[in-house]
Amino acid sequence: MTMTLSLVGPYPSEVPELIRERLPLNMQLREIKDQEALDVARDLEYVILRTLKIDAHLIENNPNLLFIQRWGAGYDSVDIVAAGKRKIPVAVAAGINSNAVAEHAILLMLASLRHLIALDASVKRGAWDRSSFAQNSFTIADKTLGLIGCGAIGKLVAAKAQALDAKVAYYDSFRLNPHEEKSLGLSFLPLRELLEVSDIISLHVPLLDSTKNIIDASALSLMKQGSILINTSRGGLIDEAALVSALREGPLMAAALDSFSEEPYPSNGALLTLANLIMTPHIGGTVADLTLPMVRKVIANVAAVKEGKALPKRDCVNQDLCGYPVE
């Protein structure tokens, strides 16, 4: 019997053909490109999902749904509890774009510390203003980088920052063991203390009920005067109204965001008015040289479920709910 694999969301132009070339036997591909078309679907079986959302209502309306594979590492766009109740495994592509996201985080830190965007605009306007910027530009060396979340991406960010002579501390609800902390050169701090002592805060946690608005007005008030906030994770981690105030009135010198509570970010949004904020369109993990590795990863997981084989343990994000075998 032929099964259908639905490629859901916007993808680089070459992706559909790369997937067709690698489809498991007796499987056909179809494309669903927008949320409106997805919401009315009633015949989903296997899904590769990017950008769009699958909620409990959609899961309920698709009785033949067998597997949801996220394109990337985040899974807040899927109701994993509703999927688990239906014994539908939900998987991510763990590790494929971790280094790309970590590089983007470091890029945003350096660009913020050295006012890269403003300098570029200044020179292109015909100015040659070195003194104004120099008085408020800084290196990352000897600064304290505070990581909120120290999973795969956080650890990569730590290593890259340490290579630039930054000191790195972290907070995570699941603390690393002492041996790993020592080997990575990391110190653990409670969240409040981390916010108080860090020159740069970088977010690397998933969006959960426990992390929503983890950076709110209260958290921002604890941060050092002249500090920087970086978010390459999920937009809902930051109270954006509070961030606007912190960038206008202090304590923040700058911030750089790759994700937002609403995406695409609205054209009348208050963040667009801030000269000391860098914004990128949730592109940290999207680079051309990772397209093929991502295709291989998601197809390998689709094939595993189709053949009744175990999924990689770090890929299946609702194993405790759905009971699907992992290895």
Catalytic center residues = 234, 263, 282
Distance between start and end Cα atoms, the chain? 28
Count CB-CB contacts under 10 A for residue 55. 12
CB 29 within 8 A of CB 2: no
Alpha-carbon distance 205 to 184, whole Å?
A: 18
Residues 6+ apart with CB under 8 A from 232: 101, 104, 105, 108, 153, 202, 203, 204, 258, 259, 284
Could you please report the per-residue DSSP string of 210-248? TTTTSB-HHHHHHSPTTEEEEE-S-GGGB-HHHHHHHHH
Q: Where are the beta strands (DSSP E) in the chain?
A: 3-8, 27-32, 46-49, 67-70, 90-91, 144-148, 167-171, 187-188, 200-203, 227-231, 252-257, 277-279
Please state the three-class secondary structure of 158-215 as a single string.
HHHHHHCCCEEEEECCCCCCHHHHHHHCCEECCHHHHHHHCCEEEECCCCCCCCCCCE
Q: Beta strands 144-148 and 90-91: pairing type? A: unpaired
Alpha-carbon distance 249 to 132, whole Å?
A: 20
Per the document, the length of the chain is 327
Q: How many CA atoms lie within 13 A of 195 on its CB side?
A: 16
